[in-house]
Amino acid sequence: DGGGETPLITDPADDKLLGWAPDGKRILFASDRSGTWDAWAIEVIDGKRQSEARLLKPNMGQADPMGFTRDGTFFYSVRMLGANIYAATIDPQTGKVVAPPEIVIQRFVGTNRLPRWSPDGERLAFVSSGRVRPEDWTLCIFSPATGQQREFRMDDKLRMFHYRLGWSLDGRSIFQSNIDSQGRHGVFKMDVETGEVKRLVSSDPKEIYGIPQWS
């Protein structure tokens, strides 16, 4: 109504709004202030906080709100962290599974994602975050025939890996839409022999590029 803003939560922790309770007197939010993601509530009257935050449910996890029912029941989904890379053998004629899925990468299980076969089918590129910190992205090149794996640390080069990887047609480089260490969006490629990263396309600061493909 133009009356200004009133801060409700000023804790230095990470806090995320989950929603207003149906009675309009409480706000439910998630916070990691205790070391885990928990559900907290504060009372609000006339747009002002009336109480300190109260813990409602510990160890809630990475919750995404789905909403309240009229009686005040809160529904949410939980993102389960962790990913593995599996491979299965199928019959291309019938589509039936000949051999069940098995984990391909046995190192840092639960932290490997975005697999992509090279054009010749001899190497598997993927991203792993199973190092000291989750943000320490490592781009890996794995050879199933030899069991050898090359690793390129990306924490000082590229920041985010949300889209699938792409291979150049000659198999010499991998490319992806990403963000560099200065926070600039664009399309980048990495030499799979040297690990050198180059920018292919620079994007406008207001734009985020999706999944690039070679012709």
Question: How confident is the model over 10-56, as pLDDT tens digits?
Answer: 888 889 999 999 988 999 999 988 888 899 999 998 888 888 899 99
Band of the pLDDT at 62, cuts 50, 70, 90?
Answer: confident
**pLDDT of 36:** 83
Q: What is the mean pLDDT of residues 68-84?
A: 85
Q: Token digits for 40?
A: 């907290």
Band of the pLDDT at 81, cuts 50, 70, 90?
Answer: low
**pLDDT of 162:** 73
| Residue 206 pLDDT > 80 | no
Band of the pLDDT at 118, cuts 50, 70, 90?
Answer: very high
More confident residue, 97 or 79: 97
- Exposed (0-12), middle (13-18) or buried (19+): which is 168, by Cβ within 10 Å? middle
**pLDDT of 21:** 92
Close Cβ partners of 100 (under 8 Å, ≥ 6 residues apart):
88
**pLDDT of 8:** 86
Alpha carbon separation from 4 to 7, 20, 25, 45, 46 (Å, rounded):
10, 19, 19, 15, 12
Q: What is the mean pLDDT of residues 130-147?
A: 77
> Is the separation of the CB atoms in 126 and 108 below 8 Å?
no
**pLDDT of 57:** 92
Q: What is the mean pLDDT of residues 208-213?
A: 79
What average pLDDT is seen over the chain?
86
Close Cβ partners of 28 (under 8 Å, ≥ 6 residues apart):
18, 19, 20, 21, 39, 40, 41, 56, 74
**pLDDT of 78:** 84
